[in-house]
Structure 1
């Protein structure tokens, strides 16, 4: 089966789509671009680059008109996890913020100029911090740490930043500057410096907004592209315009000094014609109700979601993605950002692969699924849904063609900066 035949046979029909992904893997590895440098972005394509470093999460977006956004750019001591660490690629000689910036410069149609940056939530693996950094100096008479976003900004120019709680940092309760290795205080200093010295604009993420994250270069040419903000700060915005505050009653009764930052994550659904993509930070929060039942915040998110073609797995696949959310998304491709052996744990993979939730075939694409995990999970039925090109680690590119009728998943080597293609699997949208 060649690539063209695979595309034709993989059209979604009705509820069922039974594609033999072993043949898909083979077709992807025999694609004519395999072994060659990635060909780059073309006008009209929507791309999401899942950048692998082994220590952080980061995604670079290129909208159809060339507008760009860096969503998350973390750095933390993942190597300190010892046996739980995954390979750091290309190597540990540079910190993650620099590797990420170098990757962006290679793929960005505007070079070092990035229109937007967005932090999904205040954790160091998504933002950087003041306790694990490449270097520090004195700027504006205070310590300034080059870590994550702030290190990337040494070579990238950000036009505007979206933040979940700026400028008051008290939504839904005041945020502790020193939590998670000082990530909040670190980002405050970074924002202040960038506004004062680099002219970066700041804007609070607007829950429920459509196209707050808008195309800037030629939006009128791509009217079928949109971004819907579905969650922020523990609240969910539904398509009918209503908003559900999941923490209001809990805050009123318990008066907590802190909340699980994962539950504050920002989330969006991107639509491009017939194509849809879901992403929502590190959701994994839950708590006990008075009757003893567990309340899953992701169940509430499910009510705000719709069927999508591709979904980023919440919280790196670490005890996330409950049945109700999987049933709502019914994705054909699940992508996971990985920096630990405890990501993509077996119970999550079992649910993602469960055909009783929805019957359509699917493929699970982690940035890496290392040898230790393959040995531990050998023989599990769901292993057949894992993209084999994840075994050694790599960057992943989601590429959506104009009007969203076709999309592809490309693995690039992360062993070096050659951008060499490992495989390409193409799909037709629903």
Structure 2
């Protein structure tokens, strides 16, 4: 993050714990926390506005060019151990604490499960991003979030695919899934199997950013590679304005070095 900040000026930085940094422990007293807080303070000096991610809110992140649009909204769903609550129409009614334990018996915690989750809506199009959220016996950060999010058109797969559950695949049921892969363990084969089996039975299309050849060979041997439309490159989603009550979108895969278009997919509706 500090390297990125050297190349780009952040007008606004939103994180899970500003300004107290006291969850699940006093982060000022941890090596990683102290380093991050020092970084955050340095970008503030350079003019960056820092805010805490507000669960069950929309409008904290918004369009800043072109005057904005009334049909574009970013909804804050989850962070730390808090997740939004919604009514039958998907409107926020408040937030609740996830059941389970954040700290282990040794006083450690998994930062992944404290990740931010959000939904981007443009007209009828819905896009989910859930960071590194995962689920295990200690704390389930995936399924309660999926119950709030509901159906989407495109979803990034939690934690490089490791945070995919049956409930996630069934409730979000994305036509397009984006896999942020950069390691030989990304994704677990079980997650791809779940994506094939759960949901409305539609043919999913998966785009991976940098899948290792050995992982692709493993998936091919298990008959799980057919859903992948791309296994390397930046993934760009272009959503078109609604026409005749229909909203379409496309997927572009870009060369990471030149940013030239390697492939184009869609239109999807």
User: What's the TM-score, normalizing by structure 2?
Assistant: 0.89
Question: d(CA) in 2 for partners of 1:155 and 1:224?
Answer: 32
Q: Flag the 1:244–1:296 CA change in 2: closer, same or farther, 3 A.
A: same
- Residues 396-425 of structure 1, C-alpha deviations (whole Å, 9 max, x = no match): 1111122481111111122x3x22211000
Aligned to 2:90: none
SS in 2 for 1:364: strand
Are the counterparts in 1 of residues 27 and 34 from structure 2 also a CA contact under 8 Å?
A: no
Are the counterparts in 2 of residues 266 and 281 from structure 1 also a CA contact under 8 Å?
A: yes
Question: d(CA) in 2 for partners of 1:303 and 1:183?
Answer: 32
Unaligned stretches of 5+ in structure 1? 1-148, 289-294
Q: Flag the 1:357–1:428 CA change in 2: closer, same or farther, 3 A.
A: closer
Are the counterparts in 2 of residues 233 and 265 from structure 1 also a CA contact under 8 Å?
A: yes
The structural deviation recorded for 1:347 is 0.3
Question: d(CA) in 1 for partners of 2:102 and 2:189?
Answer: 33
Q: Flag the 1:281–1:201 CA change in 2: closer, same or farther, 3 A.
A: same
The structural deviation recorded for 1:176 is 6.4
Are the counterparts in 2 of residues 262 and 285 from structure 1 also a CA contact under 8 Å?
A: no
Describe how 1:73-84 pairs up with structure 2 within 5 A: none
Question: d(CA) in 1 for partners of 2:136 and 2:28?
Answer: 21
SS in 1 for 2:27: coil
1:190 corresponds, among 39, 48, 73, to 39
Aligned to 1:307: 151
The structural deviation recorded for 1:183 is 3.4
Are the counterparts in 2 of residues 238 and 303 from structure 1 also a CA contact under 8 Å?
A: no
Aligned to 1:426: 266
Describe how 1:279-290 pairs up with structure 2 within 5 A: 279-287=129-137
2:65 matched to 1:226? no
Aligned to 1:328: 171
Question: d(CA) in 2 for partners of 1:369 and 1:250?
Answer: 33
Give the count of matched residue pairs. 261
Question: d(CA) in 2 for partners of 1:347 and 1:376?
Answer: 12
Question: d(CA) in 2 for partners of 1:256 and 1:242?
Answer: 32
Question: d(CA) in 2 for partners of 1:373 and 1:193?
Answer: 40
Question: d(CA) in 1 for partners of 2:173 and 2:226?
Answer: 18
Are the counterparts in 2 of residues 225 and 272 from structure 1 also a CA contact under 8 Å?
A: yes
Aligned to 1:158: 10
2:86 matched to 1:239? yes
Unaligned stretches of 5+ in structure 2? 88-92
Q: Flag the 1:165–1:385 CA change in 2: closer, same or farther, 3 A.
A: same
The structural deviation recorded for 1:164 is 0.5
Larger mean Cα displacement after TM superposition, 298-307 or 375-384: 375-384
2:54 matched to 1:206? yes
Question: d(CA) in 2 for partners of 1:360 and 1:177?
Answer: 49
Question: d(CA) in 1 for partners of 2:3 and 2:172?
Answer: 35
The structural deviation recorded for 1:315 is 0.4
2:218 matched to 1:371? no
2:165 matched to 1:317? no
SS in 2 for 1:271: strand
CA RMSD between the two structures:
2.1
Q: Which has the larger radius of gyration?
A: 1
SS in 2 for 1:300: helix
Q: Flag the 1:400–1:280 CA change in 2: closer, same or farther, 3 A.
A: same
Q: Flag the 1:189–1:242 CA change in 2: closer, same or farther, 3 A.
A: same
SS in 2 for 1:244: strand
- Residues 58-83 of structure 1, C-alpha deviations (whole Å, 9 max, x = no match): xxxxxxxxxxxxxxxxxxxxxxxxxx
Aligned to 2:119: 269
2:206 matched to 1:358? no
